[in-house]
Chains A and B, each alone.
Chain A
Amino acid sequence: MTNEELSTNARTEAESRDGESRGDGTGGSTADPDGEPLVEQSISVDDSNVRTTPANPDTVIESKNLDVFYGETQALQDVSMQIPEKQVTAMIGPSGCGKSTFLRCINRMNDLIDIARVEGELEFKGKNVYDEDVDPVALRRRIGMVFQHPNPFPKSIYDNVAYGRRLRGQTENLDEVVEESLKKAALWDEVEDRLDESALDLSGGQQQRLCIARSIAVDPEVVLMDEPASALDPIATSQIEDLIEDLASEYTVVIVTHNMQQAARISDKTAVFLTGGELVEFDDTESIFENPESQRVEDYITGKFG
């Protein structure tokens, strides 16, 4: 099934179900024709997300038949997907299914692994990022990244946020940029009066928000997040989730997560990868969690597998 078909399906389904599942708070349970709850735990799709989603957002990242190999092992198989602009796209799937690999393909972080090999096309704003004339450094300056474990540099909080700007030699108005980025990352109030202290003195959740501030300080167009909340406690996780929703008004966010509730809560689109590096389903988050097309996705979401 091609991508186009997928998204058409998604739209028609969303329309046909309109008014049926809204506002009852248990989201996933009403869509199943048998009347049995599809999802045992109450995974509810956040309605506000759906409403603010533009009808036909522009595609900013598009992969066409992307294959990735690590040596002899194939990590991604023929992945085609269109990631819309200024929305949150989540990728879920069991460990080792290639979702992080896909994420790292977008800003060519896989180039740093000698044995990784990419085939197919991955377009950022209509230009294949694997073309000969694309400089991965320039690409990464447009596409920021936040990693699974908070990894601030052992420098001061200020220097961490200013790092990207200084790399580019953009040192004018640095104070304002740092302040604004920390505010956007909802960290300013906590660190306002200790910008000179080491970033390593912050708590894990604060460090992760600092890493988000660091990546948005350079005004990227896309922010990639590789399980940003997996090493954090529930309170820090919910702070990060709120933050991601806010960021989507300005940036395109692509997030890998193991946590299905999280994907359901914060994302507009969801891609489900299953073992073997296969993209099984890509659709509006609502449809994925309420009425997945593939039986395997349904099994995965309901916890029968993976």
Chain B
Amino acid sequence: MATQDGLDWAGESGQVSELRGSLFKYACLGAVSFALLSVLVLLLYVAADALRPFSADPGWHLVYFVTLVLPALGLAGSYVRSEKPAGEVAVATVGIPIVGLLLAAAVAVVLSIGLLSVAELFAMTIATAVAVGVIVVHARNRPRAAFERLVVLVGAPTVALLGLPPLEVVWLINTALAELGTAARIPLRVISLRELVLSAPVLPLGWMMLVGSVTVPVAGALGVVVARRRERARDAVTFVAGAAAFAAVGAFVGPALGVDPTVWILVATFAVAPVAVYVEGVVRREDGVAGLAFPVVLVGGVLAGAVLVEQFGFAPPEPWLDWQFLTSVHSRTPADAGFYPPIVGSVMMMIVVALAAFPVGVGAAIYLEEYAPDGGLAGRFVTLVEINIGNLAGVPSVVYGLLGLALFIRFLDMPSGSVIVGGLAIALLILPIVIISAQEAIRAVPDSHRQASYGMGATRWQTIRQVVLPQAMPGILTGTILAVGRAIGETAPLLMIGAASSVRLAPSGFFDQLPAMPRQIFAWSTNLEPEIRHGVLAAGVVTLLVVLLVMNGTAIIIRNKFQREA
């Protein structure tokens, strides 16, 4: 018989107190909202300073809202409601050209600052192709000679690209010999294929070399995708030939249209060709074709908006962050101040950081996780080392700057305030973080897979190479890129190694003066001109954040790609 008393267990009489739990839940919610909101408000504030949206006529906002924002939102809403593939296609067709244009811009900058000339690029491509060819032919003809393959794997690229011994090694040894006062010098060396091509009496025209060294490899990679999709190898060849022809046309048509041939070739290679391949695939599969309308609506909206704004005479906003800001150097007049050298300098510094920190950090992590003993006295020493790597991660960055100053400038006599010194000092700074994150990624590989591999008669090296590293790689890459992203904003070490506040020229080599984004921002913060302190500085901060977001986005894409393959 269910009486009123018999229902006590249902909890109506309040025996189960949820009060403390709910309070705790709302306290946590409050903490997370406060943290996110305060960061968001700060970012919006900085973005408003950099872009100055309110300097525009309200009519301007209205026109673009009607022509661009409303149609785009409507279309996006219809994708969300109707079909998933269309949304993916829309994101990809907008994303691929953006990424392609960024890549094209990167190559254009590399060529324009003289880091590499077109001829050097061409020679490098030929040498790389020959080295890869030698490796492939050797592997096909002598598949079982393991040691020989290692020699070929290291030797072929060295001889093709650097020569034997490399020029830098010869220079180092000769300098050392001269220091010692001996007259002996290295008499001769095997000249590399790259140098051979460079010293050829006649080189092809610039645009031919650019097509050969940029368009053909990129189109070749895309051609593999095409061939796999259509299961016909000939289509890949047709595609490469077509892409190369389209790029080459730019050399003749470009000047007539007022487009620089180099820009034409790079844009055709990195943006047009991938988009063409992607769109062709979407049309062929007939899956999500509706998504192709999205970029059309975006471009159409921008064009229509421009015409209407012109018609009504609405004033556009005058942002600090504009094309002029990204492409010119610092100036005392706020309107002319630019950020170009620091962007190039910071990216070059990041290359040094990644090249220095990644191999050392990952190598250390592999040793600590896979080889180092866990038991006995040696094991205790390893534990001590691991604890201290954790402590090193907490050492203030200004101390690492001091270490860089002492080690690289005072002791190794590198040029003060150069790209290489800044990169190496910051590489030291993020090294502990790279080691720890790589260790965690390696530790996350289940032990059962190692056991399975050893049980199959694999050596330790084979187990690490075939089982541990492939599974740990996404985690290692994510950790490294996030660490490099942190490093790009480091200012204190740059102050310690003597990076100049404003550098008028983008560095053209790794031993040049380093203009870095955070260093320039720091210099602007004490400028007497209020417009520089508030407007230009904010534009610099937003640029830095965008570069950071691009890097972190890359990390996420790489991780997802590896995870899907695994």
Residues of A within 8 A of B (CB): 107, 109, 112, 114-115, 137-142, 144-145, 147, 149, 151-154, 163-164, 167-169, 171, 198, 211, 214-215, 218
Contact = CB atoms under 8 A, between A and B. Distances in A.
A109 B454 CA distance: 8
Query: Which of B146, B376, B453, B470 counts the most chain A CB atoms within 10 A?
Result: B453
Nearest to B146: A169
A198 to B, nearest CB: 8
Contact of B455 (A138, A140, A149, A169): A140
Interface stretch (B63-71, B224-232, B261-269, B456-464): B456-464
A151 B374 contact: no
Contacts of A171: 143
Contact of B456 (A138, A149, A163): A163
A140 B452 contact: no
Contacts of B412: none
A112 B454 contact: yes
Contact of B451 (A109, A139, A154, A167): A109
Interface in B365-381: 373-376, 379
A114 B373 contact: yes
A144 B456 contact: yes
A214 B143 CA distance: 23
Contacts of B374: 114
A205 B449 CA distance: 17
Contacts of B10: none
A151 B449 contact: yes
A218 B449 contact: no
B457 A153 contact: no
Contacts of A153: 449, 452-453, 466-467
Contacts of A149: 448
B20 interface: no
Contacts of A139: 457
A171 B449 CA distance: 22
A151 B446 contact: yes
Contact of B466 (A109, A163, A214): A163
B464 to A, nearest CB: 13
Contact of B457 (A140, A151, A152): A140
B455 A215 contact: yes
Nearest to A168: B457
Interface string B529-560: 00000000000000000000000000000000
Given A138-B457, A153-B467, A154-B566, A169 B143 contact: yes
B452 A144 contact: no
A145 B455 contact: yes
20 contacts: A109-B454, A112-B454, A114-B373, A114-B374, A138-B457, A140-B457, A141-B456, A144-B455, A147-B448, A151-B449, A151-B452, A153-B466, A153-B467, A163-B453, A164-B457, A167-B462, A171-B143, A214-B452, A218-B456, A218-B457
B491 interface: no
Q: Report whether over half of chain B's contact residues are helix, strand or loop; otherwise say mixed.
A: helix
Contacts, number: 71
A167 B454 contact: no
B455 A167 contact: no
B450 to A, nearest CB: 8
Contacts of A152: 452
A151 B458 contact: no
A169 B456 contact: no
B456 A164 contact: yes
Given A114-B379, A164-B457, 17 more contacts: A109-B451, A114-B373, A114-B374, A115-B375, A140-B454, A140-B455, A140-B457, A151-B446, A151-B449, A152-B452, A153-B452, A153-B453, A154-B566, A164-B456, A198-B566, A214-B452, A215-B455
Contact of A215 (B373, B379, B456, B471): B456
Contacts of B373: 114
Contacts of B81: none
B457 A141 contact: yes
Contacts of B25: none
A147 B454 contact: no
Interface in B388-446: 446
B332 interface: no
A38 B471 CA distance: 51
B285 interface: no
A198 B379 CA distance: 37
A112 B451 contact: yes
B143 A167 contact: no
A137 B448 contact: no
B458 A137 contact: yes
A128 to B, nearest CB: 19
A171 B451 CA distance: 23
B458 A167 contact: yes
B560 to A, nearest CB: 15
Contacts of B458: 137, 167
B288 to A, nearest CB: 24
Query: Which of A163, A211, A215 counts the most chain B CB atoms within 10 A?
Result: A163
A152 B455 CA distance: 12
